[in-house]
């Protein structure tokens, strides 16, 4: 049995924070606002994995009121989601992620980001990026949005 899930996340830029995206640090780029490190790729992947298995979303996995979540690395949230999937008898087959925003310029680090996320998820993760041709909050350079789709199967 296979299932698919979709996740979405968005964060505004925060010049006072370092950028953490797709499990990587991006020196010289404005960070993303958020309770944790704001890694919108990891957040969307968590939602995609959990929704595919019918296990809710990131808010049900880790709440902003939980100790230790403030400033936490979002890669840990992915690990928690994977453990929840395994406990329910599921494993990831692959994940596809689309980053929407003007920055950071993603293509120079795409392979590196894919390798980090693939190792983290334990299944192939493909990453792509696009802009919105100046439209909306991403086009105005106010933040980024991320859409992820996860395919899972019974373990």
Average pLDDT of the residues of the chain: 95
Q: What is the pLDDT of residues 88-145, one digit of tens each?
A: 999 999 999 999 999 999 999 999 999 999 999 999 999 999 999 999 999 999 999 9
pTM of this structure: 0.96
Which tokens in the block code for residue 155?
């373990």
Question: How many CA within 13 A on the CB side of residue 124?
Answer: 5
The string over 77-116, giving b where at least 16 C-beta atoms fall within 10 Å of a residue's C-beta and e elsewhere, is: bbbebbebbeeeebbbbebbbbbbbbebebeebbeebbeb
């Amino acid at each position: 049995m296979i299932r698919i899930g979709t996740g979405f996340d968005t964060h505004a830029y925060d010049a006072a924070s370092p950028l953490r995206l797709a499990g990587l640090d991006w020196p010289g780029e404005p960070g993303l606002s958020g309770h944790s490190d704001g890694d919108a790729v990891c957040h969307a992947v968590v939602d995609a994995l959990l929704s595919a298995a019918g296990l809710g979303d990131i808010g049900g996995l880790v709440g902003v009121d939980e100790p230790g979540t403030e400033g936490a690395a979002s890669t840990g949230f992915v690990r928690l989601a994977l453990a929840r999937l395994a406990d329910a008898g599921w494993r990831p087959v692959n994940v596809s992620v689309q980053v929407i925003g003007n920055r950071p310029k993603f293509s120079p680090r795409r392979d590196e980001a894919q390798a980090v996320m693939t190792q983290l998820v334990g299944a192939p993760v493909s990453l792509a990026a696009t802009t919105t041709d100046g439209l909306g909050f991403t086009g105005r350079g106010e933040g980024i949005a991320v859409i992820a789709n996860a395919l899972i199967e019974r373990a």
